[in-house]
A and B are shown apart, each in its own frame.
Chain A
């Protein structure tokens, strides 16, 4: 299959900080490739390098067959970029922004008028065409930016955190647009720090942390790498000591791998949760630790990230509750 983006040992150093550290990957034609990582992981910097906005310190990159350093002009002809922050001219109207964008991308005027109409309809902003962008809500600005990125029908689309900070409704809409593009076979490089976004939209995902790719595969592959199910155990007491004793005790229990220990909480990966859970209870009884709640579900990218880094992707998200598919509860 044709490779549309190739990164080989791509590195970007800012002073003493390696923002992107020897990153290598390829994106095939028609694929949605995700970069999943926490704040400061180097996602935006990678996009800046691939879109010719910054020069790599070392390494090589090809986009649509062109070298990002030697043929930046050619690369620019092939790409569309949705930047993480708003890059619209807030004083201009929605229509004027698209007009400017279209002409600096070389779209002939008549065709441009037509495309602007089409895309304003696609992102459902027709009624706002003649309003200044500074009057738009965050979600509307994002949608207008998506329209701009698509206006010149780029061969490769870069989307930097397309739904960051948006309300669930706007988020769903943007997902629909991206899924529509996925059906049309547009090649997309997307960054996100939402698990569910990567799971839902991407064919393959790289997990990036401190500028390095620490895992890469389809969401299923990444999740399988952990074992097939995750069991979360909440203890009645909020003590780290109890959790640590439990973890210690579970070490030699067959089919259980402890992934995380926190005060009052541990998580265990296992092949079969239905068999592991009784053993966990047995152990708890033996150690005189009281269990308040046990949940289990298929591992999510969140679990993968946790497993690989020992940290959660987003602190405010409570153990990927939204991704829990099967949920069981016991009371003692």
Chain B
């Protein structure tokens, strides 16, 4: 019998080790959100000064909590989808042929992705604080919770996607067609509750919206949904995605 805890731990260890070792990935994923805040955030702040849409706060204050979740989203999602590289480079076979429980290994892997995504989120939050000192830090635990479930959500979604799509080209296409709308329709850039019908519907179906909503609620007190509602939707949908990820990994073969 292989201890599920050991198996989960070592998969977590591997994901974290790989991330820490890939310096360029680390640096890139920190600089990108900073660029968003500096070039987009500061720009719109001065252009939209006094615009009523952002509930009386300036654009950068509105935008920064969203950028934190965007960073979490990208890191978790791409880390989750990187299982396709494991298939490509053969490492996946090593896992599939091992006696460790598949549930334990995929749990460990996803928790590894969650760890690095949350780490990312916290770093970005710290940097955001330098630019927007007015952010309310008493909301920090709630931001962590939002980051955790958002990371779980998208690491799981990435895993599901990578185990369904085996041709690399198809995978890249779906990846782009999915990641970009999720990103732009996350509520990070503009309030999604003001969108016209179909777009608003798409936004409500976007799991990232609830993470951004919670983060903004926690750090600025602003939001368009009651806190329990967004928290419930986020946890429920991330747990659901996680279970689907476990289930699809259980059935994975080398074919």
Contact = CB atoms under 8 A, between A and B. Distances in A.
A287 interface: no
A278 to B, nearest CB: 56
A221 interface: no
A165 interface: no
Given A53-B93, A86-B90, A87-B90, A104 B255 contact: no
A53 B96 contact: yes
A144 to B, nearest CB: 12
B105 interface: yes
A153 to B, nearest CB: 13
Nearest to A87: B90
Interface stretch (B12-20, B51-59, B61-69): B12-20
Contacts of B1: 106
Contacts of A83: 90, 93-94
Interface in B1-54: 1-3, 6-7, 9-11, 13-14, 17-18, 21-22
A87 B95 CA distance: 10
Contacts of A109: 6
Nearest to A74: B99
A92 B96 CA distance: 19
Nearest to B1: A106
Interface residues of A, number: 31
For chain B, which range describes its interface: under 10, 10 to 19, 20 to 34, or 35 or more residues? 20 to 34
Nearest to A77: B99
B18 A89 contact: yes
Nearest to B90: A87
Contacts, number: 86
B7 A103 contact: yes
B100 interface: yes
A105 interface: yes
Contacts of A180: none
A100 B7 CA distance: 8
B14 A92 contact: yes
A53 B97 contact: yes
Contacts of B99: 73, 76-77, 104-106
Nearest to B100: A104
Given A53-B254, A99-B10, A106 B93 contact: no
Interface string A104-122: 1110010000000000000
A210 to B, nearest CB: 20
A89 B99 CA distance: 18
B183 to A, nearest CB: 27
A52 B9 CA distance: 24
A100 B93 contact: no
B14 A106 contact: no
A91 B21 contact: yes
A228 interface: no
A55 B96 CA distance: 13
Nearest to A85: B90
Interface of B: 1-3, 6-7, 9-11, 13-14, 17-18, 21-22, 89-91, 93-100, 105, 253-255
13 contacts: A54-B255, A55-B253, A76-B98, A83-B93, A91-B21, A92-B17, A96-B14, A103-B10, A104-B7, A104-B98, A105-B98, A106-B2, A106-B99
Given A53-B97, A87-B91, 12 more contacts: A53-B96, A54-B255, A73-B99, A79-B97, A87-B94, A88-B94, A91-B18, A99-B10, A103-B7, A104-B10, A104-B105, A106-B99
